[in-house]
Amino acid sequence: MKLFQYFLSAYNESSYIIQEKNKALFYFLITFLILIPVAMAAFNIVQYQGLFGTANVIMITLLITVIIGLFLIKKRSIQCKCKPSCNNSCTIRCGIYVLQWF
């Protein structure tokens, strides 16, 4: 709960929609922050490629992307004022995060 408050306390005075969007993005990023190292370990157990193998470089890049996303949430850079164009921007950003995993 402290982690939740640390990242999302800046949005307490924002509208409900903004709070929920950032909460969903936060849960998404935390989930992948946990799953990426597990996947890296599994890939290295199955077939060791070294630290700078292709699979490890891809996973490290995704991990850096997740950390940047958490940093943007903390700095309140992901802020939409519920305008249609801004909602589309948030949807596109979240879609890009999702598409990176495929």
- CA pair distance 23, 52, nearest whole angstrom: 33
CB of 18 closer than 8 Å to CB of 79: yes
Rg, Å, the chain Cα set: 16
Asked if residue 7 has pLDDT above 70, the reply is yes
Residue-wise pLDDT tens digits, 15-38: 888 888 888 888 888 999 999 899
Whole-angstrom distance, CA of residue 81 vs CA of residue 83? 6
List, for residues 62-102, the tens digit of each pLDDT value. 889 888 888 888 887 665 555 555 556 667 777 777 777 76
Domain limits of the chain?
Answer: 2-100
Q: Residue 51 and residue 53: Cα distance in Å, rounded? A: 6
pLDDT of residue 56: 85
pLDDT, position 85: 54
